[in-house]
Amino acid sequence: MAASAATLDFSRRADRAAYIDRRLAELYPQTPVPLDHTDAYTLLIAVLLSAQCTDKRVNLTTPALFRLASTPAQMVKLSVAQIDAIVRPCGLAPRKAEAIRGLSEILLERQGGEVPRTFAELEALPGVGHKTASVVMAQAFGVPAFPVDTHIHRLAQRWKLTNGRSVAQTEKDLKGLFPREHWNALHLRIIFYGREHCTAHACDGTVCEICRTLFPRRRRPVVTRK
């Protein structure tokens, strides 16, 4: 008979990771992408807009944009000012508008209007960093990736899966702990859990179910490294 979580020793990172993997799969058997999209291009635009913006705000904003332009060919017919007028609620304007139009031009000129399927080509596009490229590779093309957002960076530290020295280090540590075939679903599950239970303010590493299970003797709040 399998031991209950209360009787398990979570002193090892590998054991904590295995429990987290199992528990999150139980809590979130389905892993829908939080950003509304219809293909790789609209996902790319939505992820770009989500930088320093909530998914909810992006999903309220993109329908108006995609009604006008849901392909690179349609997008380049709009001016930066027209794009900016729509996406401004997502913040960082007009930088995001310039990036959207700029990457659309590049996709037409160099990629036949298609979103490239490599990290290097994606990260070479305006406004597309490693996290955005990782989301597109994982969710549009099914390539194993582990995009690290603020929720994942925070929870990985609370669960002592990484030292939190940098987002890049957190990604490397998580990739080393979890099976490659779980990465794409697991990164979404951690985000879902971080938004619902282990939030920045409602939990400090001592409150939510997983924190209490892994660290029942923890009394001091965990200070998250940015």
- DSSP, residue by residue, 46-111: HHHHTTTS-HHHHHHHHHHHHHH-SSHHHHTTS-HHHHHHHHGGGSSTTHHHHHHHHHHHHHHHHS
Secondary structure class of 34 (helix, strand, coil): coil
Question: Is 131 noted as a catalytic residue in this protein?
Answer: yes
73: its two tokens: 């060919």
Q: Cα–Cα distance between 116 and 123 in angstroms, integer?
A: 10
Q: Which residue among the candidates 21, 36, 55, 149 is catalytic per the annotation?
A: 149
> Is 172 designated active site?
no
| Closest alpha carbon to 49 in 29, 66, 27 | 66
Which position among 131, 160, 173, 204 bears the catalytic label? 131
Give the residue numbers marked as catalytic: 131, 149
